[in-house]
Amino acid sequence: MLKKTFIFICLYHICTLAIGDIFISTKIHSNQTIEQELGIIYYIPFYMSFSTNRPEENFEDYAFCKGTIKKNQFIKLIHPTTNIYRGDPRAKIIFKDSTFFIDSNGIATNFSQNFQIEDTAVLIKDIENINFCNQ
């Protein structure tokens, strides 16, 4: 009887460890997915106006702030539009698979399609880990 109990306890611990490894690897995979969904955002406050536009090529050099934004939060804020992107960027968002520029009117583009952001204040609220640039 003692042998059977010992074997049962050993099997129980082996199963527990195996299930624990499954949960740990699932948790790591979930975190990796979340990390892949984060984008870097560089931005200039939308209310500011300039006499000349900031160039897209080196927008990071002109940005006042830098932070991160979750891709799923950004996607919830945009919807397709026929409005034209003016080339007056206020934000640049870099995701793993795409880059978006957002102009002062809240028109976002990835240069293959234009999108409208109804409320840029919500976009700014969704930015995390904000650092101030060019101080």
Q: What confidence tens digit (pLDDT) does each residue in 12-25 have? A: 444 443 444 333 33
Does residue 102 contact residue 108 with C-beta atoms inside 8 Å? Answer: yes
pLDDT digits (tens, 9 = 90+) for 84-98: 998 889 999 999 999
What tens-digit pLDDT sequence spans the chain (135 residues)? 545 554 545 444 444 434 443 333 344 444 555 445 899 999 998 888 887 778 888 899 888 889 999 999 999 999 999 999 988 899 999 999 999 999 989 999 999 999 999 888 888 888 888 887 654
**Alpha helices (H) along 38-98:** 59-62, 71-77
> Residue 133 and residue 54: Cα distance in Å, rounded?
15
